[in-house]
Every structure is written in C-alpha cells, then in structure tokens.
C-alpha cells in the first residue's frame, strides 16, 4: 500500500525530495498544490517534471478518504459529510457557514478519531466505541474534500468532531501545524481550536510545548459527582485538578481558554450558576454555552425559557459568555450528534 503524502510535514517532504536528488524548495511547491490549489492527483502539478510526477504517483497517495454521503440543512445551510477511510471506517465532518457570532466565519469541524473511547452520555459518537486514531492525512483531507465539494475556503477549524483529540495528540498537532503553514492551508493560529473533554496529560503537554492554538475544555457540569456520571473522564482526571493546572501554568499571554458547557434541564439551576461563578478563580476563560441536542440519550432538553433564566444568572460573571448556535441539528450535524451512521448497521 502506498504512503499518504499528507502525513508528511514540510520538513519531511523536503527530505523526501532531497533523497531523490530534487531541490528542497520543491516541498513548498508540493504543499501549494496539495493545500492551496487543492489538487487530487500528482499529474496536475505542472511545475514538476514528468518523471517527478510519475515517481510521486508510484510512491504516494493524495486522498485517504472517500465521500459516502452529504447532507445540507434546510434551516441554516450547514453541511455534513460522511467519509469512508481507506480501511473501511466511517467519520463525519461538518461545514458551518457561520456560528451566530461572526457572519464572515466559515468553519470546518473535523474528526480526530474513528469512534471515541470516552463514553460521554450526551454524545452519539460514544455509542460507536473506539475504532482507531485518524492519521494526519485523514484529518487534513477532511478540509481538502469539504473545500472541493463546497467550492468555499474555510477560515476557521475546530477539532470538535468525532473523537478525543488529545488521545491522538501527535497526529492532531501535526495536522494543526500544516493547517497553519504559509504553504499549507495558511489558517491563523487564532482560528484553530482544539477541544478536549479533559485529558490532563494532553492539556499539560499542550501548555508546556507552547502550542499557539486555541484550547477548549468540555465541562458540562458544576457538580463533579454528576459530571462523572455523564463524563467518565472525571473519574480519572478530576476537573479540579485541571483548573489548578490552568491557574498555575497557563500563560497570561495566551488566548483565553474556552470552557464548553452543554445545557441540560438538570445542570442549569441557580446552584449551577453560582458554582460556575466561583469555580474558575483563574479569570482568563470564556464560557461557551451549548444547548443539548436531540439524540439517543435519555437526557432532558431544557426549554428556551429555562436557558434564558440560566444565562441571566450568569450575566454578572466577569468573563465573556457566548451561546453556540446549534447549526445543523436537523441533519444530525450539531454538537454531540455525529455518529458515522454506517456503524449502526455495519459495525466492525
């Protein structure tokens, strides 16, 4: 089986070219073809010699993903894409034309794993179980494919699709770096967000390595007993420990940490609001409130009136608060709804 060329960093591609007697600057040309021009075969790379194009085609593959299904929301234009990996797994990506906060924002929500091992009660991906980590090429190709299919270039990426990104740390951060390369997708570091359900070692490594990307942490409960019930990660990595890590190590020069909070009927009480106000003494955070979406869970969805009351209680907090629009909920493309639907009948 051929290697996927998108698994290689710019430096690694430079070494590949040097090994076959080509100049290292060819690597930047290759990256321009792959990510800026978004070609899907080596023979379109017209500034390469015929022999070089044949060599690349013999040794490498460009696209590891195949489109299986595509759905578009009639409500907000959000699109969901079901892809099949080269070894028969299914992943989903979502294209959001705006999220209610920035009219010019075009976001692709990418997956980092096929399935997920974390077992969060409100998440459809958890019901699949864990299949495997995605390769760097599979993460990047989601953007290539969505751009090609929509004819639009996204300016924002969130690692909030299927899987726990920090359980696939190396491939995820390598993909983020290539997204940011001038000769890659050239997306600003401030427009790339990596979300975690609370993997302590991954968060600490992310901070220690001074990674420039936005960090989002899923909280979803202020009662830690209740959080452990809905998010088993709490038992291994208590949120209190993560909060102390942020207080002690997260640099003041960085962007704020986003705390994500999925609002259920049973976690938006006056007591929950009060605990949220006192939980984060570390003040470089912003709170992202997300209404619970429909799914196969048995959790109760709050009414808009109940959500409004909760938000009003939080308004006196001295931190930014945003409410994430549930884009794509009518096509099961919103937060917690991605399931790689073929697993329901073709589980392996």
Percent helix, percent strand, percent coil in the chain, to nearest 5: 40, 20, 45
Mean pLDDT of the chain: 90
Question: What value does the mean pLDDT take over residues 87-97?
Answer: 95
Residue whose C-alpha is closest to residue 232's, from 126, 342, 128, 100: 126
Q: Phi and psi of 168, rounded to 5°?
A: -130, 45
65-346 under CATH 3.20.20.70, yes or no:
yes
> CA-CA distance, 63 to 84, in Å (whole number)?
11
pLDDT score at 348? 45
Question: What are the tokens at 303?
Answer: 């009414």
197 is catalytic: no
Contact 184, 154 (CB under 8 A): no
pLDDT confidence tier of residue 347, bands split at 50, 70 and 90:
very low
pLDDT in tens, 306-335: 999 999 888 877 778 888 766 656 666 556
Q: Select which of 109, 123, 197, 335 is catalytic.
A: 335
pLDDT confidence tier of residue 299, bands split at 50, 70 and 90:
confident
**Is residue 246 over pLDDT 70?**
yes
116 is catalytic: no
Strands (E), 201-265: 214-218, 257-263
**Is residue 342 over pLDDT 70?**
no
Every domain of the chain and the residues it spans: 3-61, 65-346
Query: 3-61 in CATH: which number?
Result: 1.10.150.530
pLDDT in tens, 135-191: 999 999 999 999 999 999 999 999 999 999 999 999 999 999 999 999 889 999 999
Q: Report pTM.
A: 0.92
Q: Phi and psi of 85, rounded to 5°?
A: -80, 170
pLDDT score at 106? 95
Q: Select which of 14, 22, 61, 92 is catalytic.
A: 92
Question: What are the tokens at 245?
Answer: 């890590």
pLDDT score at 345? 45
pLDDT score at 13? 98
**Is residue 131 over pLDDT 50?**
yes
Question: What are the tokens at 62?
Answer: 């460009």
């Amino acid at each position: 089986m051929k290697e996927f060329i998108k698994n290689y960093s710019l430096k690694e591609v430079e070494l590949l070219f040097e090994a076959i007697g080509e100049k290292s600057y060819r690597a930047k040309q290759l990256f321009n073809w792959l990510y800026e021009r978004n070609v899907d075969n080596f023979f379109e790379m017209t500034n390469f010699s015929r022999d070089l194009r044949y060599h690349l085609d013999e040794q490498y593959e460009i696209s590891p993903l195949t489109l299986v299904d595509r759905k578009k929301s009639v409500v907000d234009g959000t699109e969901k894409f079901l892809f099949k990996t080269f070894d028969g797994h299914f992943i989903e990506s979502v294209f959001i034309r705006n999220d209610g906060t920035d009219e010019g924002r075009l976001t692709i929500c990418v997956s980092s794993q096929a399935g997920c091992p974390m077992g969060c009660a409100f998440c459809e991906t958890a019901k699949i179980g864990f299949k495997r980590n995605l390769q760097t090429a599979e993460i990047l190709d989601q953007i290539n494919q969505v751009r090609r299919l929509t004819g639009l270039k996204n300016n924002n990426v969130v690692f909030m699709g299927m899987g726990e990104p920090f359980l696939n740390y190396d491939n995820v951060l390598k993909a983020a770096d290539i997204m940011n390369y001038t000769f890659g997708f050239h997306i600003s570091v401030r427009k790339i967000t990596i979300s975690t359900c609370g993997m302590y070692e991954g968060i600490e490594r992310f901070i220690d390595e001074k990674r420039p990307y936005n960090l989002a942490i899923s909280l979803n409960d202020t009662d830690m007993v209740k959080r452990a019930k809905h998010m088993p990660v709490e038992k291994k990595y208590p949120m209190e420990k993560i909060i102390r890590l942020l207080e002690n190590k997260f640099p003041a020069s960085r962007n704020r940490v986003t705390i994500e909070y999925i609002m259920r009927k049973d976690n938006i009480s006056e007591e929950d609001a009060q605990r949220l106000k006192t939980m984060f003494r570390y003040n470089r955070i912003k709170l992202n409130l997300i209404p619970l979406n429909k799914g196969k869970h048995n959790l109760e969805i709050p009414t808009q009136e109940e959500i409004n009351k909760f938000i009003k209680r939080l308004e006196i907090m001295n931190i930014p608060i945003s409410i994430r629009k549930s884009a794509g909920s009518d096509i099961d493309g919103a937060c917690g709804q991605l399931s790689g639907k073929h697993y329901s009948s073709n589980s392996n």
